[in-house]
Amino acid sequence: MPHTSVPAAELESRLARLRIAMSQRHPDWSMLLLDNKIDLYYLTGTMQEGLLVVTQDAAVFYVRRSFERAQCESLFPDIRPMGSFRVIAQDFPRVPSAVHVAVKTMTLQKLTLLQKYLPFSQPLPADDVLAGLRAVKSKYELECMRHAGGVQQFALEDIAPALLRRGVSEARLCSEVCTALLEHGAMGISRFNQSAAEDVLGLASFGENSLLRIANDSPSGTAGTCIAMKSIGSSQRRLREGDLVLLDIPCGFRGYHTDKSICFFYGSLAKHPEGARIRAAREHCIFLSHMAESLLRPGAVPAEIYQKLCSCVDPAFRDGFMNGCKFVGHSIGLTMDETPVLAQGFSEPLQAGMVLAVEPKIALEGIGLVGCENTYEIVPDGPAVSLTGKSDTVFEIN
């Protein structure tokens, strides 16, 4: 059964907005070269290996492999086979001296190879334009993310509690939740845009393991499957009574992600010597989540939302808030970590159509991480709408 292609009208609109944004931000631009799989998917609707060339009056996607797959999947109007970059030089004999690229993702090796065949001397960054385009989602993108959020809510709120049982490993639990996501239409992987991060499934962590920090900027921790993979969870750490359980397992549909974290307490809080503190920390995170939901409106400034939330953190939990991370939420879309971020330094106002994941979490030393996370759509009027369900979900699992 063929997969659903990104609509031609969607691709046409993105290309038109790209040219407008480039002209506004970089009035003298004349050529843009893109090779990153996320940029290629956004603008062409396929992730084949190749190079997209955009000028003010032309746009050609040169595909090295697989040209046949690109033709089958993509509704982009001009796709051509490419044996080497020499063919681009033949089609575009007047390459300007300054060419825009995505400097965050283009490797020095690729840049050197391009300059061998295309005689430009000055690579200029276009990352600001590309990030800005993806920040505000179209109707098509929002439909994909709403679908992803519904699948994720069902898997984490309805299916996951029944999967908790004494002796299950972190790795097994994560794989079972991911299987449930796949069976309900999820794409099965989560993509990041950070250089330190990898494409991952997500993670399940029990107790103290959820406090272990990982390379990418996230409050959620894990021992991972081994030293070489800090994702999924440990096959050795098994669930026992009195454990906090953290599930931070994203969901994607047609390339678009939603993010949701959910915490459980396996057993009875009344029997835990720190039960009252655990419950208070969780309820405080839910309070902060509801506050953020009310603040996420068009015109609101991300840095001011961050400051407001931080100012309301209970002093009893301030040291462990966000487990050392300096943000409380992040934009999300084709990657998990898009812009803007609810953090210091982000002063551009929010717009309707932006989508952000908000994840207030508190690290309790010697116990584990508690908190919640949901993905919110900024709507024209009123507070943001959660795409992934509730923050105040079932907690104690006996």
Tokens of 48: 């084949």
pTM of the model: 0.96
CA 209 to mean position of chain CA atoms:
23
CA–CA separation, 261 vs 287, rounded Å? 15
Phi, psi (deg, nearest 5) at residue 379: -110, 160
Q: Do residues 338 and 354 lie in contact, with contact meaning Cβ atoms separated by under 8 Å?
A: no
Sheet holding 338-342, edge to edge: 338-342, 329-331, 355-358, 374-377, 385-386
Q: What was the pLDDT predicted at 19?
A: 98
CA atoms within 13 A on the CB side of 364: 22
Neighbours of 264 (CB within 10 A): 21
CA–CA separation, 252 vs 267, rounded Å? 31
Helix axes 127-135, 8-25, angle to 10 degrees: 130
Helix axes 127-135, 37-44, angle to 10 degrees: 50
DSSP structural state of residue 370: E
Q: Do residues 80 and 87 lie in contact, with contact meaning Cβ atoms separated by under 8 Å?
A: yes
CA 157 to mean position of chain CA atoms:
20
Alpha helices by DSSP H, 296-383:
302-311
DSSP structural state of residue 316: G
Closest CA to 374 of 311, 286, 312, 282: 286
Q: What was the pLDDT predicted at 175?
A: 98
CA–CA separation, 16 vs 240, rounded Å? 55
Kindly list the distances between the CA atom of residue 269 and the CA atoms of 264, 280, 348, 350, 372, in Å, as whole numbers in the listed order: 11, 11, 43, 39, 18
Q: What was the pLDDT predicted at 365?
A: 97
Q: What was the pLDDT predicted at 233?
A: 97
Tokens of 183: 């069976």
The letter for the amino acid at 72 is C
Neighbours of 56 (CB within 10 A): 12
Query: Given phi > 0 = left and psi -120 to 50 = alpha, else beta, which region is 59?
Result: beta
Query: Given phi > 0 = left and psi -120 to 50 = alpha, else beta, which region is 191?
Result: beta
Instruction: State the distance between the two ends of the chain, measured CA to CA, in whole angstroms.
Output: 42
Alpha helices by DSSP H, 241-317:
275-295, 302-311
Length of the chain: 398
DSSP 55-116: ESS-EEEEEEE-HHHHHHH---S-EEE-SSTHHHHHH-----SEEEE-TTT--HHHHHHHHH
Task: Domains for the chain: give ranges and CATH numbers.
Answer: 8-133 (3.40.350.10), 136-397 (3.90.230.10)
DSSP 340-361: EEESTT--SPP-TT-EEEE--E
For every one of its 398 residues, what pLDDT tens digit does the chain have, with 9 covering 90 and above? 579 999 999 999 999 999 999 999 999 999 999 999 999 999 999 999 999 999 999 999 999 999 999 999 999 999 999 999 999 999 999 999 999 999 999 999 999 999 999 999 999 999 999 999 999 999 999 999 999 999 999 999 999 999 999 999 999 999 999 999 999 999 999 998 876 667 788 999 999 999 999 888 899 999 999 999 999 999 999 999 999 999 999 999 999 999 999 999 999 999 999 999 999 999 999 999 999 999 999 999 999 999 999 999 999 999 999 999 999 999 999 999 999 999 999 999 999 999 999 999 999 999 999 999 999 999 999 899 999 999 999 999 99
CA–CA separation, 319 vs 180, rounded Å? 36
